[in-house]
Structure 1
Amino acid sequence: MNVPARIAALLLVLASATASAGPEVLLFPALGRPGGVTLHGRVLADTPHGSTALSRNLRRLASRNWKGARVEVSFLGVSATVTSGEDGDFQVTLPPPHVGPFPVGGHEAQARVPGASASARVEIVSDTAPFLVVSDFDDTVAISEVTKPDKLVTNALLRDADTQKVVPGMAGFYGCLGADSGAVPAFALVSGSPVQFGPRVSAFLSRHGFPAGFGLYLRDLGPDTLSGYKQPLIRSLLQRFPHPVVLVGDSGEKDPEVYAQIREEFPGRVRAIYIRDAGKSGDATRFQDMVLFKDASTAAEHAMGAGLARRTCVSTAFPASVPAAGTAVP
């Protein structure tokens, strides 16, 4: 039995054994603008439980979705009620209140259904933010070993936010991105990780010191999302946010090809593309006009030279890689 078949078999077993203490609402961290914010999430009919990482991960993946749930969503005094769809998913766009635009910065949104509620951070992005960072998760900031099926299963199912390994230096790299004036970018994580792992991904980013305020845009697992799932999400972000964009991914799967396509579709918008070498990097044509790096310090040094990262921050986070002031950066 191959790896996907083994996972499917385990999910079928656990689907009938999922412990329930009532429903659960997943409300995902999001990015918004002063003129409006789009919130999205999912309603599970059962709250997953488990005494081990394996049982918790499998039961979360196997949890039944609640179709037709009445979801009340609110943010900074504005609220709306929507009905969850076939997969328990919901999405709503909230305009600012009549008194004025949403204030820039991090704020809390809430979602409620009968028997459950959830909250999530919403980052209202200033129109003057220097750029938007769109990042992958697996093998870009977290070690998932997607190209090695058995190790992928171990990392996906036997680990959690506390035990999955972080890619060294990536939190420091992201934390240094921005302008020397102190202006910081907005961050969106667009990943093939399943939507059910949203709480795990958020906890991982927080545990390892990544910048607060990441919007999460994860994959709804299904036959229609085996490929081509990132482009629509990234297009939607670039259509909603007019800022320049920096794309960060890895070489293990299709990030270079996806990002090259986005760069072609949005001419002049992509400031830089950073690709972590996670294997399958022998074909240099995949990385044309991209920065392929093994160590995060290489990406940070390039970003500093390109005016995308703060020199003082990079010199503190990566002291061995920063040339003396006045020295040219290749």
Structure 2
Amino acid sequence: MGYANRCHRKIPLIALARPLGIVLLLCTHVASAEPAVLLAPALGRPEGVLLQGRVLKDAPSGGSSALTRNVRRLTAANWEGASVEVSFQGVVAKVKSGHDGNFEVNLRPPEGQRFPQGTAEAEAKVQGASARAPVEVIPDTAPLLVVSDFDDTVAVTNVTNPVKLVESALLKDGDTQAVVPGMAAFYGCLRKPASPAFALVSGSPIQYLSRIRTFLDRHGFPAGFGLYLRDLGPGTLSGYKQPAIRRLLHQFSQPVVLVGDSGEKDPEVYAQIRDEFPGRVKAIYIRDAGRTEDKTRFEGMVLFKDSGDAAAHAAAQGLADAACVATAFAKPAPAATAGQTAP
């Protein structure tokens, strides 16, 4: 492919660093490319599966650096009005992508049938491109629905530090972004006794879909996460999590555990959800990522610095497997001092 020497439209990184008001104008040489489809991993029920994604008209790929790859992801043009064919377990539907390239379809099994429980692949196709993504069909017996944030909850993003935030957004990728220690183990122990349904609802843009999937796989998070990411733009600087979480709570009847961080608005968002769905939210865990001076933000929540403390609380509440927590967060034996023999 040849290179189109052109300057991209402005990238409002205020959408990535929304509380900071940071805007960077980036120009780059971008490879012209074929279309691409982004299809998000999803949670579904035997009665139906909701699939979401985006179609990109010119989707540059590759690049020798994380910066190049991230800029190309964020500046790829959307394809409005693309004919998208979405299929799952033999059920097929056709939809048109919207003005931002997004599409959404609710697939239901044939009358009198149910989608099998467990993991299966969905596919989305447009002319010249296709994508596959796992769908976890959740049984009615799943013990919990765990809704998690991403930035500064499971991945170190430093949202309270403008310079480090932009560095994380543009200079890191799924292989190099730092993980919050112990969070994968905490989530792995959240079972009573069966595995819960996991949904990641994040302000990270949908263009980072592959980056986030790589991160979760690399660091050993439980398989089967549904990913519900933000449509990047000035109209989604706030209020983008509540609709996604509400939809999940209407879709699934399980008790809910919410996990986020203190760096932005997770405590306020989760308190609102708790009020809207009385009795559904069994625990709210907030990682201390700064901005914790106002303790009223965390009323009725578990504010933690160490993932092991959150896991121990969950085990005490019957939300996590106590043996798993004891093993995953075992304290190392103290080192023997001079003249002593370690037991």
Q: TM-score range by the shorter chain?
A: over 0.9
Q: In structure 2, the residue corresponding to 1:45 is in which secondary structure?
A: strand
Q: In structure 2, the residue corresponding to 1:55 is in which secondary structure?
A: helix
In structure 1, what is the equivalent of residue 93 of structure 2? 80
In structure 2, what is the equivalent of residue 284 of structure 1? 295
Task: Give 1:98 deviation, angstroms.
Answer: 3.8
2:320 paired with 1:309: yes
Q: Distance in 2 between matches of 1:195 and 1:139?
A: 17
The answer to whether the Cα contact below 8 Å between 1:108 and 1:120 also exists between their aligned partners in 2 is: yes
Q: Distance in 1 between matches of 2:284 and 2:164?
A: 27
Instruction: Give 2:282's match in structure 1, choosing from 271, 276, 282.
Output: 271
Task: Give 1:21 deviation, angstroms.
Answer: 2.5
In structure 2, what is the equivalent of residue 116 of structure 1? 129
2:179 paired with 1:166: yes
Q: In structure 1, the residue corresponding to 2:49 is in which secondary structure?
A: strand
Paired AA for residue 36 in structure 1? G
Task: Give 1:6 deviation, angstroms.
Answer: 7.1
In structure 2, what is the equivalent of residue 326 of structure 1? none
Alignment of 1:9-48 (within 5 A): 9-10=25-26, 13-14=27-28, 17-48=29-60
Q: Distance in 2 between matches of 1:221 and 1:300?
A: 33
Q: Distance in 2 between matches of 1:186 and 1:143?
A: 23
Q: Distance in 2 between matches of 1:213 and 1:225?
A: 26
Q: Distance in 1 between matches of 2:269 and 2:276?
A: 11
Q: Distance in 2 between matches of 1:20 and 1:177?
A: 45
Paired AA for residue 136 in structure 1? D
Q: Distance in 1 between matches of 2:185 and 2:110?
A: 37
The answer to whether the Cα contact below 8 Å between 1:3 and 1:150 also exists between their aligned partners in 2 is: no
Alignment of 1:100-111 (within 5 A): 100-111=113-124
How many residues are matched? 314
Task: Give 1:104 deviation, angstroms.
Answer: 0.9
In structure 2, what is the equivalent of residue 255 of structure 1? 266
The answer to whether the Cα contact below 8 Å between 1:29 and 1:122 also exists between their aligned partners in 2 is: yes
Q: Distance in 2 between matches of 1:249 and 1:74?
A: 33
Q: Distance in 2 between matches of 1:78 and 1:26?
A: 19
Paired AA for residue 49 in structure 2? V
2:219 paired with 1:208: yes
Deviations 1:273-326 (CA, angstroms, capped at 9, x unpaired) = 0000000012111100100000000000000000000112111111129xxxxx
2:242 paired with 1:226: no
The answer to whether the Cα contact below 8 Å between 1:58 and 1:157 also exists between their aligned partners in 2 is: yes
Residues 1:132 and 1:6: Cα distance change in structure 2 (over 3 Å):
closer
Task: Give 1:99 deviation, angstroms.
Answer: 5.9
Instruction: Give 2:165's match in structure 1, choosing from 140, 148, 152.
Output: 152
Q: Distance in 2 between matches of 1:302 and 1:6?
A: 37
- Identical positions, percent: 66
Q: Distance in 2 between matches of 1:212 and 1:3?
A: 30
Is there any run of 5+ residues in structure 2 with no aligned partner, and where? 1-11, 15-20, 333-343
Q: Distance in 1 between matches of 2:59 and 2:74?
A: 11
Paired AA for residue 23 in structure 1? P
In structure 2, what is the equivalent of residue 319 of structure 1? 330
The answer to whether the Cα contact below 8 Å between 1:67 and 1:84 also exists between their aligned partners in 2 is: yes
The answer to whether the Cα contact below 8 Å between 2:59 and 2:77 also exists between their aligned partners in 1 is: no
The answer to whether the Cα contact below 8 Å between 1:18 and 1:62 also exists between their aligned partners in 2 is: no
In structure 2, what is the equivalent of residue 238 of structure 1? 249
Q: Which moved more, 1:211-220 or 1:17-26?
A: 17-26
Give the structure-1-normalised TM-score: 0.92
Paired AA for residue 155 in structure 1? S
Q: Distance in 1 between matches of 2:84 and 2:242?
A: 28
Give the structure-2-normalised TM-score: 0.89
Q: Distance in 2 between matches of 1:7 and 1:52?
A: 21
Task: Give 1:265 deviation, angstroms.
Answer: 0.4
Q: Distance in 1 between matches of 2:32 and 2:111?
A: 41
Paired AA for residue 235 in structure 2? D
Q: In structure 2, the residue corresponding to 1:147 is in which secondary structure?
A: coil
Alignment of 1:123-138 (within 5 A): 123-138=136-151
Residues 1:41 and 1:3: Cα distance change in structure 2 (over 3 Å):
closer
Q: In structure 2, the residue corresponding to 1:307 is in which secondary structure?
A: coil
Is there any run of 5+ residues in structure 1 with no aligned partner, and where? 322-330
